[in-house]
A and B are shown apart, each in its own frame.
Chain A
Amino acid sequence: MDVQKHSVHTLVFRSLKRTHDMFVSDHAKSVALDEERNPSEGGVHSMALALPPSQARHDTSRTGASVSDIHRHAGGAERSHAHSTSLMEGGGTRNSALTRKAPTMPKPQWHPPWKLFRVISGHLGWVRSIAVEPGNQWFVTGSADRTIKIWDLASGKLKLSLTGHISTVRGVAVSSRSPYLFSCGEDKQVKCWDLEYNKVIRHYHGHLSAVYDLDLHPTIDVLVTCSRDATARVWDIRTKANVHTLTGHTNTVATVRCQAAEPQIITGSHDSTIRLWDLIAGKTRVTLTNHKKSVRTLVLHPRQYTFASGSADNIKQWMFPDGNFIQNLSGHNAIINTLAVNSDGVLVSGADNGTIHMWDWRTGYNFQRIHAAVQPGSLDSESGIFACLFDHSESRLITAEADKTIKVYKEDDTATEESHPINWKPEILKRKRF
């Protein structure tokens, strides 16, 4: 963690302000009660008194002398906690007039840290892509050794190897509506494999250059692929016809995502723009130019109507349907190759230098950084993450790495809020003036 250099004055002021902002609008706490009992003490002090003990402990560790002094003076923390529930309503009505309408500082949700629990090796080249079967029994990986391997999710054993691509396999997807596996590679081929016969049954011909990513529409039988020729193409699965060619990007389209709601196709490109497309017309709805560097990855939140994009400068969160910017998640200063999101609100970003950062989706709090060691036999520079994915139960994180292994992570069950406390130091933003 880099330590920012500030003067002591700035640091103390900021920590005080943080605490103040966090707890100034705690309506649940019985602020008015304390004022009645101890009218001598100022309003600010009494507000600080009415804290539940655990949070107070956090405060003392962070803010220093001033708050602890107040706490010692009062000594009534237990009392306030016991009474807080019964006097909640009363406190609320009395407080509404007293408390300022200050914007609430968000508190990040606690997530248990993730740890590595399995390393699967078997590929002979970088592992570039992963997809998990809808029934959560097995997962597929595509690699630079031109093969597609199917692994058992529970045990990590290899079930099947499929060959047919002539160059690196860059994207794999398993259809939930039919027993098909789709793969695309740097050899301009997009293949449809029938999993009952383990054979290629269709080719989608039309891309002019390497195909970097593909995605399936959840409700319509349509496949979208994106390529180095700056286009994304929409294919009808059954007839192999190229329904739409989505042009507009000026550089390689690196990533594409499909969803059932509007906008149905989102693409991110190396010209640092993200485009939201109208699938019916085959035209761009919105162009988002906020990124400064190539956008290599996109992820759609499973429950919310939001998405996140990852690039070498920042990870940005956006709202649908117009792509309104929500916030930046900054701190992962590396080329971000992949993002994945959990229903619990855990966002994982995997970078080209092998580091994984875990974020809380809502607040943007980075609660964990992992840099797994490379497989023995690999150089240290051969660490990089090309794809990461949560399985359908959202309890396992599978990453595809540059040291030719697949690493599986799971949540650490022994960790608690106390053992891994939240160390949330947000930047003090200038609030809404506009």
Chain B
Amino acid sequence: MALRIFLPAPTQLSQDQLEAEERLRVQKSYSTALVSSHREPPPYGHRKGWVPRSLEDFADGGAFPEIHVAQFPLEMGRRKKTSNALAVQVDAEGKIKYDAIARQGQGKDKVVFSKYTDLLPKEVLNEDTPELQKPDEEAVKELTEKTRLALEKQVSQKIAAAMPVRAADKQAPAQYIRYTPSQQGVAFNSGAKQRVIRMVEMQKDPMEPPRFKINKKIPRGPPSPPAPVMHSPSRKMTVKEQQEWKIPPCISNWKNAKGYTIPLDKRLAADGRGLQTVHINENFAKLAEALYIADRKAREAVEMRAQVEKKMAQKEKEKKEEKLRELAQMARDRRAGIKSHGDKGGEDSEARERDEIRHDRRKERQHDRNISRAAPDKRSKLQRDQERDISELIALGMPNPRSSSEAQYDQRLFNQNKGMDSGFAGGEDETYNVYDQPFRSGRDMASNIYRPSKNIDKDAYADDLDTIMRTRFAPGKEFSGADHGQRRDGPVQFEEDPFGLDKFLEEAKQHGASKRPSTSSRSKDDYHDKKRRKE
């Protein structure tokens, strides 16, 4: 204490002195405060009868050894429920061991790399440094031997389980052990200082089945703690890099399980079209050329043929015209009374002409009959027009029922029921009121709409459909009320000539030779002409 007076005051106070000063200050503040908030333990020596009850009673310090009561300063030492917290450990230099958690379940000798220095590259060492040398032969041999024995033991255990049962193996001979017990005295071991123990290996029953069940499955124990990761975390992926790794979906050329509709360019995307160069054979071009030439030649041939035919047709036409001209001339001559040939020849020619006319007309009549027999559906032109559809008629431009020259009024103007302000419909666009009447209002509608009746057959065949079906047509059989005319010249029977036309015609033929120009011929001519003109 005396030394402190002589020395100058310290400029830097140590930790203890600072704390002491703090305490002094606090104590001074005690006296000024009305109520003291801290509760400090009584100083050493004055603690008799005092028991720390709460955490604050310990006030920074630890347990009081002189107070014989269980104390838990800072709640240390209490029997807590299982917590897996690892206590903080400190290494030899006083630094906290942060890798204690990485070495938790393992022995302290286990090599675990957890420091930053472990991942820094070392200096390049010379080849001769001792660290890089392999361990010498002897150490290696020893290790090999040790390993081999251990592995053999393992293997033999595994195999022995599978080997068949053999006789019991001989046990090793008995071992004798001299044992000196620690508790000695007259009472123990009947006074003797040492004991000899005979140790014998217990016999294993070769026929004994396994003693324990090993088929039970138990969950695996916790693994060893994972090794600390000694590299920087992977770099973040940029959007561009992510785009680079995008794999397009697979569109099969064969399967489409969900039946997606996929556009054609996607279907052919993976086809490899862009990778191949297309090689086209030259012969395709040659073929195209040849076809082109052939086409041209064919066209030329067709044209020539057409021209030739045209010429031929023209010649024919000219010939026919000539003929017609001649005929016309002859007719004119005859009309004028000029005899083109001799009399006989003239009468013959007239008869011939009449025969020709008759022949032609018979031919026409037969032709019409044939048509009507063969194609009964082929109606006359008028009938056909009547049965046409409206669109066809419009397309053909035929009907126009109101093609009259006088002005036509919209019939809606003459509306009787509604007043003047009817007809405009308030400006609505949706109504279709361009026309007032239908086109052909119902005139042909009814007839155009085909409605088959229930008794189609009745309409067609009258009521005796059944009889008709059963009875066959017998051409020889006559109708019930018909004449029994036996004579059959053709399908149609002609009766006796009622008007005497045949006689008349025969007479005409006979008198054709002797010319009676005035009456018969003229009348015949008139008749012929009229007929002709009609047709």
Q: Which residues of A contact B (CB under 8 A)?
A: 103, 106, 219-220, 222, 234, 236, 239, 241-244, 248, 260-262, 264, 273, 279-280, 284-292, 303-306, 319, 322-328, 345, 362-364, 429, 431-432, 434
On whether the beta carbons of B227 and A244 are closer than 8 Å, the reply is no
Q: How large is the interface on B (under 10, 10 to 19, 20 to 34, 35 or more residues)?
A: 35 or more
Q: How far is the CB of B99 from chain A (nearest CB, A)?
A: 13
Q: How far is the CB of A279 from chain B (nearest CB, A)?
A: 5
**Closest B-chain residue to A260, C-beta based?**
B140
With A220-B144, A220-B148, A280-B147 known as contacts, the answer to whether A323 contacts B132 (CB < 8 A) is no
Q: How many A-B residue pairs have CB under 8 A?
A: 111
- A322 / chain B contacts, CB cutoff of 8 Å: 111
Q: Is residue B60 contacting chain A, with contact meaning CB distance below 8 A?
A: no
8 Å CB interface, B253-284 against A: none
8 Å CB interface, B187-236 against A: 223-224, 227-231, 234
On whether the beta carbons of A287 and B135 are closer than 8 Å, the reply is no
On whether the beta carbons of B140 and A236 are closer than 8 Å, the reply is no
With A261-B134, A288-B113, A289-B229 known as contacts, the answer to whether A326 contacts B158 (CB < 8 A) is no
Q: Is residue B150 contacting chain A, with contact meaning CB distance below 8 A?
A: yes
Q: How far is the CB of A366 from chain B (nearest CB, A)?
A: 15
**Closest B-chain residue to A238, C-beta based?**
B155
**Closest A-chain residue to B116, C-beta based?**
A434
Q: Is residue B119 contacting chain A, with contact meaning CB distance below 8 A?
A: yes
Q: Is residue B16 contacting chain A, with contact meaning CB distance below 8 A?
A: no
Q: How far is the CA of A279 from the CA of B231 in the complex (A)?
A: 28
Q: A289-B227, A291-B231, A303-B134 are in contact. List 17 more A-B contacts (CB 8 A).
A: A103-B123, A106-B124, A220-B147, A220-B151, A236-B155, A243-B155, A243-B158, A261-B143, A262-B135, A264-B147, A279-B147, A290-B119, A304-B134, A305-B132, A306-B132, A327-B122, A429-B121
- Can you identify 23 A-B contacts, CB atoms within 8 angstroms? A219-B140, A236-B151, A236-B155, A239-B155, A239-B159, A243-B151, A248-B224, A260-B144, A261-B135, A261-B140, A279-B147, A287-B112, A289-B231, A291-B231, A304-B127, A304-B132, A305-B134, A323-B111, A326-B122, A327-B124, A362-B124, A362-B125, A429-B121
On whether the beta carbons of B146 and A280 are closer than 8 Å, the reply is yes
Q: Is residue B120 contacting chain A, with contact meaning CB distance below 8 A?
A: yes
**Closest A-chain residue to B148, C-beta based?**
A220
- A264 / chain B contacts, CB cutoff of 8 Å: 143, 147
Q: Is residue B429 contacting chain A, with contact meaning CB distance below 8 A?
A: no
**Closest A-chain residue to B228, C-beta based?**
A289
Q: How far is the CA of A306 from the CA of B134 in the complex (A)?
A: 8
On whether the beta carbons of A328 and B121 are closer than 8 Å, the reply is yes
Interface of A is mostly: loop
- B229 / chain A contacts, CB cutoff of 8 Å: 289
With A239-B155, A325-B119, A432-B123 known as contacts, the answer to whether A305 contacts B135 (CB < 8 A) is yes
**Closest A-chain residue to B121, C-beta based?**
A327
- B121 / chain A contacts, CB cutoff of 8 Å: 325-328, 429
Q: Is residue B507 contacting chain A, with contact meaning CB distance below 8 A?
A: no
- A234 / chain B contacts, CB cutoff of 8 Å: 151
**Closest B-chain residue to A107, C-beta based?**
B124
Those 3 A-B pairs whose CB atoms lie nearest each other, nearest first: A287-B227, A106-B124, A327-B121
- A290 / chain B contacts, CB cutoff of 8 Å: 119, 230-231
Q: Is residue B131 contacting chain A, with contact meaning CB distance below 8 A?
A: yes
- A260 / chain B contacts, CB cutoff of 8 Å: 140, 143-144
On whether the beta carbons of A363 and B124 are closer than 8 Å, the reply is yes
**Closest A-chain residue to B136, C-beta based?**
A261
Q: How far is the CA of A248 from the CA of B125 in the complex (A)?
A: 33
Q: How far is the CA of A288 from the CA of B112 in the complex (A)?
A: 9
User: Which of the residues A222, A429, A432 comes within 8 Å of B151, measured between beta carbons?
Assistant: A222
Q: How far is the CA of A434 from the CA of B118 in the complex (A)?
A: 11
- B140 / chain A contacts, CB cutoff of 8 Å: 219, 260-261
- B110 / chain A contacts, CB cutoff of 8 Å: 285
- Between A287, A290, A303, the greatest number of chain B beta carbons within 10 A of the residue's beta carbon is seen for A287
- B158 / chain A contacts, CB cutoff of 8 Å: 241-243
Q: Is residue B117 contacting chain A, with contact meaning CB distance below 8 A?
A: yes
8 Å CB interface, B147-175 against A: 147-148, 150-151, 154-155, 158-159
- A327 / chain B contacts, CB cutoff of 8 Å: 121-122, 124
**Closest A-chain residue to B130, C-beta based?**
A305
Q: How far is the CA of A181 from the CA of B155 in the complex (A)?
A: 22
Q: How far is the CB of B225 from chain A (nearest CB, A)?
A: 10
- Between A243, A285, A319, A363, the greatest number of chain B beta carbons within 10 A of the residue's beta carbon is seen for A243
With A239-B155, A241-B155, A434-B120 known as contacts, the answer to whether A280 contacts B133 (CB < 8 A) is no
User: Which of the residues B113, B144, B228 comes within 8 Å of A219, measured between beta carbons?
Assistant: B144
Q: How far is the CA of A327 from the CA of B125 in the complex (A)?
A: 11
Q: How far is the CA of A106 from the CA of B127 in the complex (A)?
A: 11
On whether the beta carbons of B151 and A325 are closer than 8 Å, the reply is no
On whether the beta carbons of A325 and B155 are closer than 8 Å, the reply is no
- B125 / chain A contacts, CB cutoff of 8 Å: 326, 362
Q: How far is the CA of A379 from the CA of B154 in the complex (A)?
A: 51
- B112 / chain A contacts, CB cutoff of 8 Å: 286-287
Q: How far is the CB of B277 from chain A (nearest CB, A)?
A: 15
**Closest B-chain residue to A320, C-beta based?**
B134
Q: How far is the CA of A363 from the CA of B123 in the complex (A)?
A: 9
**Closest B-chain residue to A290, C-beta based?**
B230
- B154 / chain A contacts, CB cutoff of 8 Å: 243-244
Q: How far is the CA of A234 from the CA of B148 in the complex (A)?
A: 12
Q: How far is the CA of A222 from the CA of B159 in the complex (A)?
A: 16
- B134 / chain A contacts, CB cutoff of 8 Å: 261, 303-305
With A222-B151, A287-B227, A303-B134 known as contacts, the answer to whether A262 contacts B122 (CB < 8 A) is no
With A289-B227, A324-B118 known as contacts, the answer to whether A280 contacts B135 (CB < 8 A) is no
- A287 / chain B contacts, CB cutoff of 8 Å: 112, 227
Q: How far is the CA of A288 from the CA of B305 in the complex (A)?
A: 97
On whether the beta carbons of A325 and B227 are closer than 8 Å, the reply is no
User: Which of the residues B133, B148, B150, B227 comes within 8 Å of A305, measured between beta carbons?
Assistant: B133
**Closest A-chain residue to B123, C-beta based?**
A103
- B146 / chain A contacts, CB cutoff of 8 Å: 280
Q: How far is the CA of A257 from the CA of B278 in the complex (A)?
A: 51
On whether the beta carbons of B230 and A288 are closer than 8 Å, the reply is yes
On whether the beta carbons of B143 and A262 are closer than 8 Å, the reply is yes
- A244 / chain B contacts, CB cutoff of 8 Å: 154
Q: How far is the CB of A278 from chain B (nearest CB, A)?
A: 9
Q: How far is the CB of A42 from chain B (nearest CB, A)?
A: 29
8 Å CB interface, B406-430 against A: none
- A429 / chain B contacts, CB cutoff of 8 Å: 121
On whether the beta carbons of A304 and B230 are closer than 8 Å, the reply is no
**Closest A-chain residue to B127, C-beta based?**
A362
Q: How far is the CA of A306 from the CA of B223 in the complex (A)?
A: 29
Q: How far is the CA of A288 from the CA of B223 in the complex (A)?
A: 17
On whether the beta carbons of A292 and B132 are closer than 8 Å, the reply is no
Q: How far is the CB of A253 from chain B (nearest CB, A)?
A: 16
Q: How far is the CB of A219 from chain B (nearest CB, A)?
A: 5
On whether the beta carbons of A289 and B143 are closer than 8 Å, the reply is no
Q: How far is the CB of B396 from chain A (nearest CB, A)?
A: 70
User: Which of the residues A106, A242, A304 comes within 8 Å of B133, measured between beta carbons?
Assistant: A304
On whether the beta carbons of A319 and B131 are closer than 8 Å, the reply is yes
